[in-house]
Amino acid sequence: MRLVDRYDAIVCDLDGVVYRGDPAVPYAVESLSAAGIPIQFATNNASRPPHEVAAHLRRLGLDVSDTDVATSSQAAAWLLTRHLEPGSAVLAIGGEGVAHALRETGFVPVTSVEDEPDAVVQGYGPDVRASDLAQAAYAVQRGALWLATNTDHTLPTAHGLAPGNGAMVLAVGAAVGRRPDLVAGKPDEPLYLMCAERLGVSPDRVLAVGDRLETDIEGAHHAGMDSLLVLTGVHGVRDAVAASAVARPTWVAPDLRSLFTDVVELERTAEILGREWERLDAGPASDDATGALPPELAALAD
């Protein structure tokens, strides 16, 4: 049995899994095109609306619709439907994707605390200013529900790491003296659960695919989904071996061609990883430990 045959749907991360910046990751487009089961493409990026992300995927050769893309802004708006009535005013902090998600869910995005918002949705935007963060702080202090689209502290750019939405959330938190009431993006579970709802599939029948342990894989754990760590992005085998219990993937493989790998082969890797995690959980390594990976895992690391 192939790995893809074990699941009814896939929730797939984007950067580091499907593309790196603009170009596609090797084997990603052809593998996802041949998967044969529904896919939601889930991203913590709150600044771009889904149609822009979907257009990027179509340029790479994937046959996707706008509704196949799920953003953390959409997950935040999805969460709000459980707390506010349609038509409620929501202070939208971030890029176009934040206000777009609120409007499509029936809320009214506003830009000032003087509009008496019932909630604040704070997401990343390249043009977010100190005055925008001040408006968020004022609204939270007046009792507005505070949602962060995601709490990624850094944002990779061509020049290096820039402050991400999490850094700006910390700035508002320093002013109001607390954390957000809710977080929509990975590693929290709402984004994944929204995807499962869209797919009409129980979370335990969904495979979450990602390249980052502390977001993609931990988020899958919180949502009750199996996870596949592909080694095409941020984290490698050594990272997986050292991962905390909540960030340990179900499966590890070099790239998305693993969707068509016999499960028996992947299970052997999982068993070896499991033994390494048992050693980690047992306590500090002995003085004579070399830190060498078992041969099967070392082959993945090469």
As a whole number of angstroms, the distance between CA 249 and CA 235 comes to 11
Measured from the Cβ of residue 104, the count of other Cβ atoms closer than 10 Å reads: 13
User: Residue 13 catalytic?
Assistant: yes
As a whole number of angstroms, the distance between CA 225 and CA 246 comes to 12
Catalytic residue among 5, 8, 15, 288: 15
As a whole number of angstroms, the distance between CA 68 and CA 64 comes to 6
Q: Looking at the chain, list the stretches that DSSP marks H as alpha helix, in order from N- to C-terminal side.
A: 28-33, 50-60, 72-80, 96-104, 130-141, 165-176, 190-199, 218-223, 237-241, 263-282, 295-301
Catalytic residue among 13, 211, 216, 226: 13
User: Residue 262 catalytic?
Assistant: no
Measured from the Cβ of residue 262, the count of other Cβ atoms closer than 10 Å reads: 11
Side-chain-side CA neighbours of residue 14 (13 Å): 24
The C-alpha torsion from 238 through 244 and 249 to 254, rounded to 10°, is -10
SS3 of residue 168 by DSSP = helix
**Residue positions annotated with a catalytic role:** 13, 15
